Amino acid sequence: MSQPESAVADAQAGGRGGQEPLAKLAARYGLRRAIARPRFPVYVRQLWERRHFILTYATSRNVSKYSSSALGQLWQVLTPLLNAAIYYVMFGLVLGGKGHIHNYPAFLLTGMFVFTYTQRSVTAGAKSISGNLSLIRALHFPRASLPLAYTIQELQQLAISMGVLLVIVLITGEPIALTWLLVPVVLLLQTLFNVGAGLVMARLGASMRDLNQLLPFITRTWLYASGVFFSIQEKVVGTAHLPQSVADVMYYANPAASYIEAMRDILITSDGGHTPPDSVWISCVFWAVFALCFGFWYFWRAEERYGRG
C-alpha cells in the first residue's frame, strides 16, 4: 500500500515543477503554523483578554441551567439545604454525630455549603473540556476559559447560598460579629483553590473518559474525610484515641477541611469564639496558591491537544 502513496508524492513534487518546498515558501512569507501553544505569560494575557467571554459564558450557563424547571434558580439554594437536612437527621440525630458540638445546625450547614462549592467546582471542571468538544473544535480561545467559566458559574451560585447560610446562622442564635468581614477572604482563597483544582480535573477529564463515572465516589469519600458532619478533632483524638498529629494531618493536608474549619471559626462565635488559628490560615493560603499555580501550568501544558478526541 505504501507504493502508490509515494507515487503520488512524487507526482506532486513533479507537479510543483521544481518549486521550493512548501515549508520554505511559508517561512519566506512569514506564515506560522496553525497549531502552536503560546508561551505561558502570553497565554495568561490571552486569557485575561477573554474575561468578558468567560463571565458571559458563566452567566449564560447559569441562566439556561434551570430554565426548564419550575422552581428555577431556587434549586441552587434548595439542593444544599435538602442535603443538609438529610445529613442532620442521619448523622446528627440517628447516629449521634452531634456529640458535644456547639450549635450543630450551623456547624453542619457551614460545612455542607463550603464543601459543596469545592465539590461542584471539581466535578464541573472535569466535564468542562470533555463536554464542550464541539465548541473547542469550532472556535479559538485559550482553553482554560472553559474550566474558569465553570468555576465562576459555581461562584455565582455560591453567592446565593452564602446569603442563605448567613441568615440561617443568625437564626440559630449566632451574633453578627466583626470577624464576618473575613468571610470574603476565605471565599476568595477557596475560589483560587477551586480554579486550580478545576483546571487539573479538566485536563484529566479530557483524556480519562471514565473519570466522570468515578468522581461521585471520590467526592463522597472526600466529603466523609472532611468532617462536614462531625468534628475531626473529637472523633480522631476523643473517640478513636489517635495522636493529635493524625487530626492535624486531616485538617491541613485536606484543603476542603481547612476552608470549612476557617469558615466555621469565623461564623460560629457564640461559644466564646476565636478567629481561625494561624495554622489554618497558612493551610488555606498554601492550598490556594499551590493549586492555582500548578493547575494553570498543568492545564497549559496540553493546550494544543484539547479537542482531538
Q: Where do contacts with other proteins occur on this chain (CB under 8 A)?
A: 1, 4-5, 7-9, 11-12, 14-16, 19, 21-23, 25-26, 29-35, 49-50, 52-53, 56-57, 60-61, 63-64, 67-68, 132, 134-141, 209, 304-305, 307-309
Closer Cβ to other proteins, 9 or 159, answer by number: 9
Q: Environment class of residue 259 by beta-carbon count within 10 Å: exposed (0-12), middle (13-18) or buried (19+)?
A: buried
Minimum distance between the CB of residue 70 and other proteins, rounded to whole angstroms? 15
Closer Cβ to other proteins, 51 or 274, answer by number: 51
DSSP string, 46-113: HHHHTHHHHHHHHHHHHHHHTTTSSSGGGHHHHHHHHHHHHHIIIIIIIS-TTTT-TTHHHHHHHHHH
Minimum distance between the CB of residue 51 and other proteins, rounded to whole angstroms? 9
Place of cell 440517628: 94
Closer Cβ to other proteins, 100 or 140, answer by number: 140
Minimum distance between the CB of residue 154 and other proteins, rounded to whole angstroms? 18
Closer Cβ to other proteins, 220 or 308, answer by number: 308
69 is written with which cell numbers?
424547571
* CA nearest to 166, candidates 85, 110, 230, 120: 110
47 is written with which cell numbers?
486569557
Minimum distance between the CB of residue 45 and other proteins, rounded to whole angstroms? 13
Minimum distance between the CB of residue 299 and other proteins, rounded to whole angstroms? 17
User: What one-character DSSP code corresponds to residue 179?
Assistant: G
Closer Cβ to other proteins, 43 or 287, answer by number: 43
